[in-house]
Amino acid sequence: MCSETRPNAKPETVSRHFMNTPKVSENYYKEREGVLKVALELNSNGYVFRETSNGDIGIDGQIEHVNDGGEATGKIVGAQIKSGNSYLVDKGNHFAFYPHEKHKNYWSVFPLPVILFVFYPNDGKIYFTDVRYQLNNPKQNHPYITLGKSSFLNKVTAKNIFETTGDISVPYYSIDQVFSIMAKTICQNPTFHISYLDLFAQGLTNLCRHIYFSMDLALSIADYYNETEFGLGMGYSEHEFLHEYAKFLMSQNLALIDYSDYLIDWKERQLQPTFIAPLTVRGRELLEFIKIIENEFKADLPSTTLVRERSIEMQFRTHDDYLRLDLGKKLREIIIKQTANKVLPKAGLNSCD
């Protein structure tokens, strides 16, 4: 027998009770949207994204470059991902991102390039930049990070993520091929007739554990080899030759050079960079290969070896050099005296015994 509801009966009121469990905020979904969109874009471009599984304190993950042959190249950058319109301030021809001071400090000393990705729901694009590079750039004179409006993630721009890790377009050669290329790659200027091999061998230092490079090294070699009646000629093509040499060292993994720091001098300051970098396993393999080649042609070569360190010296030459020594000594004495008189109570100075 079916029961019927009385026409004038009031419906029963059902009280709704919520579980007393943690709530998921809207911000969680917003941030996850950004991470997932970046991960999907990286995946579609053939790069490996490893999200930080725990302890995210400023780096959301790492991205590793994979070449056209499907090989992981070992070129890795850190990734910090933000999602939301509020993160970007429109400055006209670019966006501005204002980081917290603690994050600026953390990113600036991170051992890998740090790529900041910002998903901007207003236009659905993911903007990115190397935030560590900007923070360490001495010409950076504003409190925010710049994100160019043309620098958004897609199939064309994705490779720029690895711009500050070194040249990813050069093939990876065997050690015998590396040696051959370095010996045959010579600047075509007859007054600057030096090779990659000259720069590499003559830059060995610290018991051949490090490689040194600077303009003074290149000029010294070129001056010795110059057999023309003219003085050294140094212009755009010669600077490019030296730049390509440094990129070759990095592309062949011969030395651990911080390309991001190198680029600050090359791009921002318009200077030929100087560096001292430890050789890698491949760099040391090249030294052993050079010894083999020297032994093969021993009868035709001078009685020495290319695999030998050279010393690096910062010389005191001018009157001002020595005047700066006096300045340093005098300033030290003043600071010690003021500290002793408690003029500088917050200065925690330690002297050498």
User: How high is the pLDDT of residue 16?
Assistant: 62
User: How high is the pLDDT of residue 18?
Assistant: 64
Which of 284, 300, 316 marks a domain boundary? 300
Average pLDDT estimate for 122-148: 94
Q: Do 204 and 281 fall within a single domain? A: yes
Q: Do 43 and 140 fall within a single domain? A: yes
User: How high is the pLDDT of residue 308?
Assistant: 95
User: How high is the pLDDT of residue 10?
Assistant: 58
Q: Specify the pTM.
A: 0.80
Q: Do 69 and 40 fall within a single domain? A: yes
Which of 255, 283, 300 marks a domain boundary? 300
Which of 135-139, 309-313, 327-331 tops mean pLDDT? Answer: 327-331
Q: Could you tell me the strand order of the sheet in which 210-213 lies?
A: 204-205, 210-213, 275-278
Residues 6+ apart with CB under 8 A from 72: 48, 64, 65, 66
What HEC string does 256-274 produce? CCCHHHHHHHHHHCCCCCC
Average pLDDT estimate for 5-28: 66
| Residue 279 in this model has a pLDDT that exceeds 70 | yes
User: How high is the pLDDT of residue 27?
Assistant: 76
Residues 6+ apart with CB under 8 A from 325: 316
19-63, pLDDT tens digit by residue?
678 777 777 787 788 899 999 999 999 999 999 876 667 899 999
Does residue 227 belong to any structural domain of this protein?
yes
Question: Which pLDDT band, with edges at 50, 70 and 90, does 351 fall under?
Answer: very low
Range(s) of the domain holding residue 200: 175-300
Q: Do 216 and 239 fall within a single domain? A: yes
Q: Do 146 and 187 fall within a single domain? A: no
- Give me the number of domains the chain comprises: 2
Q: Do 139 and 195 fall within a single domain? A: no
Does residue 135 belong to any structural domain of this protein?
yes
Residue with tokens 């721009």: 157
Residue 280, token pair as written in the block: 């890698």
Residues 6+ apart with CB under 8 A from 128: 115, 116, 117, 118, 147, 151, 152, 153, 161
Question: Which pLDDT band, with edges at 50, 70 and 90, does 341 fall under?
Answer: confident
Least confident of 5-9, 112-116, 285-289: 5-9
305-323, pLDDT tens digit by residue?
999 999 998 889 999 999 9
78-133, pLDDT tens digit by residue?
999 999 999 999 999 999 999 999 999 999 999 999 999 999 999 999 999 999 99
User: How high is the pLDDT of residue 302?
Assistant: 94
Residues 6+ apart with CB under 8 A from 82: 31, 34, 97, 116, 117, 118, 119
Q: How far is CA 302 from CA 218, 294, 306, in A?
A: 22, 10, 10
216-257, pLDDT tens digit by residue?
999 999 999 998 999 888 899 999 999 999 999 999 999 999
CATH number of domain containing 48: 3.40.1350.50
Does residue 101 belong to any structural domain of this protein?
yes
User: How high is the pLDDT of residue 343?
Assistant: 57
On average, the pLDDT of the chain sits at 90
| Residue 347 in this model has a pLDDT that exceeds 70 | no
Question: Which pLDDT band, with edges at 50, 70 and 90, does 353 fall under?
Answer: very low
User: How high is the pLDDT of residue 7?
Assistant: 56
Q: Do 292 and 221 fall within a single domain? A: yes
284 or 18, greater pLDDT: 284
